[in-house]
Structure 1
């Protein structure tokens, strides 16, 4: 990795064999390095001894050392994470902060070939897609793992030949965690069956990564054809494109897995479901809307029948800033051409304060330019609004009568006539 020679590097050092070897090698190569050590406060005095060891290592190598002390157990409880996941999150969040604030080009971690095999087996036992079987990436954005092609046995030979001291984490001896069980009870048997296992595993990863590249190319091709529209709120996909491929489920999985969906049969069933059917993940939802699927963030606050947000606008207010834009109110003597963003109403027909609110089921209005009244739900259906579109509809009302379906249609009951004396212009900016 010649690019490391000219880079400012932050090395994650626990004090264990792997990270100490990485620090020693980078120092021997005269790289520009700084050490970073996380004390998770999980092993009492032993954790503090690890910290002291890393500080002394920094002195020996004559490099700067950053230390972070974390209350891992409290964080895990607060965030509802396992201790291992909490420690990982705390560690990487801190590394990223250091890299950003102090302009480190890369964060180096000491993962090696045995770690890669363990991660592969963990993902395999838990169930995963192809990406979960392609191993730990050697370079992932600004994280680099220079030791990934070396085995732990090779690292042990290096420290023994060079008389390098390191710290053994006592928790590594426990089989409490799945990784340790695999490390102590499974992998040794696999290596006994085939001493060349790690090399063969490396070859297998290369083949799987090659296959993953082919899959990505195919998924990207379908994705380009399927995506109909993208904005800051949603992505719209053409259902017809998913039905053209041989395995819709596979493409849906690859396209939507990063959004946290898990019930893949339900996602597939959306292709033939009634319009309005939804599937949820913890963060997103996928909605069937006629001939399209709409992907958007999950919004549990939008329950039209139970919760309607509203604001009041007093007489004389000239400007009101809302989540969807800015409403401007101006008295005028003339009426220009109507538009989606500007209406003119008879001010004397209004009762202040006006109410700005989201629509709710049962709302009825008198669409300007039409005779009679119409339910908003029917109007939205005729206008072919999606569920997302409807959730973003706001109304300007007077005495519970709709004055304007904002950005769409004004109400006939407040239109300007030849008898109007005071005209109010309302503009959505």
Structure 2
């Protein structure tokens, strides 16, 4: 196996021979064999072991084993202990997810502090097949079917071309020792169920299973590349970004063949799972929404709008700000308002308002607009409800959620950053002009 490993490195991963490597090791057979292979290949490497404290004395014994292996191999070893269950409970995530996040965060820190070039993990061909079947059973796109990448940024998996059988055979032939994780024998986890009950049956039915699977994944990767090129070509025509809002042009999307396929590819990174609801938004009424754990998708007339969930929460939260007469500036959710008494009107725009100060009743207030609010828009005749004004100005749902008004008593003096009120405009009779600027 070593000669096959060395040939694979020389042909496909030659940069490992010249880099400073951090080999992640649990004490299990896969990572132990990776460490031995790196030693035989005369790589410049150190070991990194995480004690997640999930199996009591067994976890501590794993740590002891790794420390002894490092001495035997005459390489440096880094050990980190975690209270994994406490972290999982605090973050409201699974223990497995907490362990993964803790592990890779620490590896990144080590790489920065100790200047390692690459992180090596011991994932092999059977792990790749298991991941494929897990993703297939849960529902996924091409990304989930193309498996574990051999190189992902600074993470390298040099054993992906090797089967579990090859690794076990090599370990036994060389009398290498390793640790057995008792939790791997339990079939209550989906991965273990596949490993012990499903994949052996598939291999019995087809002795070339792993080879054929590798061929299939290779073909899927070619297809993924074609799709990526197609999406890249239409991206500029369909997608635009304004004020941290991603906008997808519905008309241009519907002109494309296989519209839903393009929608999936454009939105797959935003963690949506209710894809039928996402596709239905194309023909839904304005204001309809679909949420993922991290993002919100809104139908707004001619566009699908993508924002973070945190933006949605902030935009719908209550706002109530009181402004005394002597206030010079005050922070609001999307900027800073400054107040200055002046004697003349300079160039005006939507973010600057000049009003008759003597008509105001202090303290002024800033709040969210409410149903029934109205004002007398500058440049227009008579009064208009804000809801009607929003409709005429083609406000999106997101725009309406963010809209704030500056009020004097019950009167709306300014729809902030949009339009002032005619009743408070500066006239020939005005003695004191108040300049309000949004920055």
Q: TM-score category by the smaller chain?
A: over 0.9
1:399 aligned to 393, 398, 409, which one?
Answer: 409
SS of 1:301's equivalent in the other structure is: helix
Q: How does 1:5-154 map to 2 (within 5 A)?
A: 5-154=17-166
Give the C-alpha shift of residue 297 in structure 1. Answer: 1.4
SS of 2:180's equivalent in the other structure is: coil
- After superposition, the C-alpha distances for 1:119-138 in whole angstroms (9 at most, x for unaligned) are 11111222222221111110
Structure-2 separation of matches of 1:258 and 1:101: 31
- After superposition, the C-alpha distances for 1:107-151 in whole angstroms (9 at most, x for unaligned) are 111000111111111112222222211111101122110110011
Give the C-alpha shift of residue 28 in structure 1. Answer: 2.6
| Stretches of structure 1 lacking an aligned partner (at least 5 in a row) | none
Structure-2 separation of matches of 1:270 and 1:71: 43
Q: Which residue of 2 aligns with 1:252?
A: 263
| Stretches of structure 2 lacking an aligned partner (at least 5 in a row) | 1-12
Indicate the larger mover: 66-75 or 177-186.
Answer: 66-75
Give the C-alpha shift of residue 253 in structure 1. Answer: 1.7
2:373 aligned to 342, 358, 363, which one?
Answer: 363
Structure 2 residue 351 is the aligned partner of structure 1 residue 351: no
Q: CA RMSD in A?
A: 1.8
TM-score, normalised by the number of residues in structure 2: 0.92
Structure 2 residue 276 is the aligned partner of structure 1 residue 271: no
1:165 aligned to 177, 189, 205, which one?
Answer: 177
Q: Which residue of 2 aligns with 1:424?
A: 434
Structure 2 residue 219 is the aligned partner of structure 1 residue 207: yes
Structure-1 separation of matches of 2:207 and 2:115: 43
Structure-1 separation of matches of 2:243 and 2:386: 25
Give the C-alpha shift of residue 395 in structure 1. Answer: 1.8
Structure-1 separation of matches of 2:369 and 2:73: 66
Structure-1 separation of matches of 2:21 and 2:243: 35
SS of 1:15's equivalent in the other structure is: coil
Structure 2 residue 308 is the aligned partner of structure 1 residue 284: no
Distance 1:73 1:337, change over 3 A: closer
Give the C-alpha shift of residue 232 in structure 1. Answer: 4.7
- After superposition, the C-alpha distances for 1:177-228 in whole angstroms (9 at most, x for unaligned) are 111121111211222222221111111111111111112222222333211x
Structure-2 separation of matches of 1:93 and 1:263: 30
Structure 2 residue 239 is the aligned partner of structure 1 residue 235: no
- 1:359–1:395 Cα contact (<8 Å) kept: yes
Structure-2 separation of matches of 1:18 and 1:190: 22
- 2:315–2:402 Cα contact (<8 Å) kept: no
Structure-2 separation of matches of 1:8 and 1:357: 57
- 1:308–1:359 Cα contact (<8 Å) kept: no
Q: How does 1:213-224 map to 2 (within 5 A)?
A: 213-224=225-236
Q: Which residue of 1 aligns with 2:332?
A: 322
- 2:414–2:421 Cα contact (<8 Å) kept: yes
- After superposition, the C-alpha distances for 1:330-373 in whole angstroms (9 at most, x for unaligned) are 11111223211211111111111211222222211111122211
SS of 1:378's equivalent in the other structure is: helix
- 1:233–1:297 Cα contact (<8 Å) kept: no
